[in-house]
Amino acid sequence: MRISLLLEREPFGEILGRTLRKYWSHRYGKPYQVTWVQRGNGRDHDQAGVQTWYCNFLVNGLFTDQLSDQAFEPLRREFSHSLVAWRRPLQRTYVQLATRMPSARWLAQAQLRVRPAVPEADKKLIVPGNHKIRILDRDRETVDVLLKDGFNPGMLARELEAREMARDCGLSVPPVLEHDLESGWLRESYIVGTPVNRLRDQVRAKVSMLDVLEKLCVLHEKTMETMSWDAYVEDLFNRIVKAVEDASHLLGDRNGTVLEFARNLSAQAIQGKHAHIEIKLSMTHGDCQPANILLDGDQAWLIDWERTGRRFCDYDALVLELGARSPKGLSEKIARFVEQGELEEVPLERYLNSKVDGREERSGILTLFLLEDLLFHLQENGNPVFKVPSGGLMEYLDHAGLWMERGGVLP
């Protein structure tokens, strides 16, 4: 999530300052002062004894004016290629200017003022995200990953466990070099890759995604366990009720709509052939989308494991192939899968552990997937410091309203 969106969602400057102050004080053994200043551009003169980091909201980075040109490469890979064709020349030009000195300093929209100076800051690039803040050191080939202050402390522990399992199953995951869960950070190897949704070669992007999906299937199979379908649906619904309560400050008058949608889904999920059978649950990545798959040469890396958890074993495959993190067109994709069992010329059943021999089976696993994905979006918005709901949740709820208006959940 870009800084421009984080600023709308949360008191980003305060969270960034607290997170970095805590980490740098721990890392270097002395107290740090970190102040966020959102004003003007990068033309302010440095104050005596204060180290200035410049922040660009659009290319999602913080840096000193001594950062080397090569250290900006991760930002160029992620943002130089627009997903909208007519924007590409202008965006490419802007990103080039925003990631080279001295224009990078002038295009910055905010500053981070740090006292005392962070050692070797000229080699470090700070990249904020949805739940974590990364400090990339190109020279040392390391990335310090910090859980944002005030965010769920259990995320890093779950992530470390899942990443170890994933590597054992052949997935390319950045190796963890050291960690301190109590202090909320880990250090991993530096990986430079291009998110596959930013590749110009869409065939290569698709091949990379399917390669990752095949290896994820190994993880799913090795961590599989069973549970009563009815009991799992009931458990999901109860967790959704709790998640609605946690996100109620953002949902407002849509609380009732969300709960009604969840009840309808739960009722549909336990009808027909799926009543009283066993369901397969596995360790899942949770956010398997093109933006989290980085291609470096011929190697595809799967990153951002903080939303890992035990879910319906086909959750990752459905998130990726339905494009569920970009809900536009989700209704049509679901209809196609229910009726035909495939998406975008790919036989999705090849990557599923569940039986999808007929329409009723496909409809059943889709209702379960929608329950789990509703829970995912609600939990993403459960932090009390958030000021506005995520766009993903609102788009999802728009689809939910559309399905209910049509008199049912699935086609």
More confident residue, 367 or 283: 283
pTM for the predicted model, two decimal places = 0.92
Calculated CA dihedral for residues 259, 263, 266, 270, nearest 10 degrees: 170
**pLDDT band with cut points at 50, 70 and 90 for residue 272:** low
Q: Report in angstroms the alpha-carbon separations of 74 from 41, 185, 315.
A: 23, 21, 29
**pLDDT band with cut points at 50, 70 and 90 for residue 295:** very high
pLDDT, residue 49, reads: 83
pLDDT, residue 254, reads: 86
**pLDDT band with cut points at 50, 70 and 90 for residue 410:** low
Tokens of 310: 């035990």
Residues 3, 57 contacting (CB under 8 angstroms): yes
Give the SS3 label for residue 136: strand
Tokens of 270: 């336990």
- Does the pLDDT value for residue 346 go beyond 80? no
Residue with tokens 């990153």: 303
Averaged pLDDT for residues 118-136: 96
Residues 115, 52 contacting (CB under 8 angstroms): no
Tokens of 104: 């990078």
Average pLDDT, the chain: 89
Averaged pLDDT for residues 224-241: 95
Specify which of 45-59, 105-119, 344-358, 396-410 reaches the highest per-range mean pLDDT.
105-119
**pLDDT band with cut points at 50, 70 and 90 for residue 324:** confident
Query: Hey, which residues does 282 pair with through a beta bridge?
Result: 311
The model's pLDDT over 136-170, given as tens digits with 9 standing for 90+, comes to: 999 999 999 999 999 999 999 999 999 999 999 99
Which of 345, 346, 327 is closest to 395 using CA atoms? 327
- Structural domains in the chain, CATH included, are 3-151 (no CATH), 196-405 (3.90.1200)
Strand order in the sheet with 309-312: 225-228, 278-284, 309-312
Residue with tokens 């224009």: 103
**pLDDT band with cut points at 50, 70 and 90 for residue 401:** low
**pLDDT band with cut points at 50, 70 and 90 for residue 352:** confident
**pLDDT band with cut points at 50, 70 and 90 for residue 253:** confident
Which range is least confidently modeled, 14-28, 204-218, 235-249?
204-218
User: How many CA atoms are closer than 13 Å to the CA of 76, on its beta-carbon side?
Assistant: 13
C-alpha span between 225 and 310 (Å, rounded): 10
- Does the pLDDT value for residue 41 go beyond 50? no
Which runs of consecutive H residues, i.e. helices, occur in 298-390? 315-322, 330-340, 359-380
Chain length of the chain = 411
Give the SS3 label for residue 110: strand
- Angle, vertex CA 289, rays to CA 394 and CA 155, nearest 5: 80
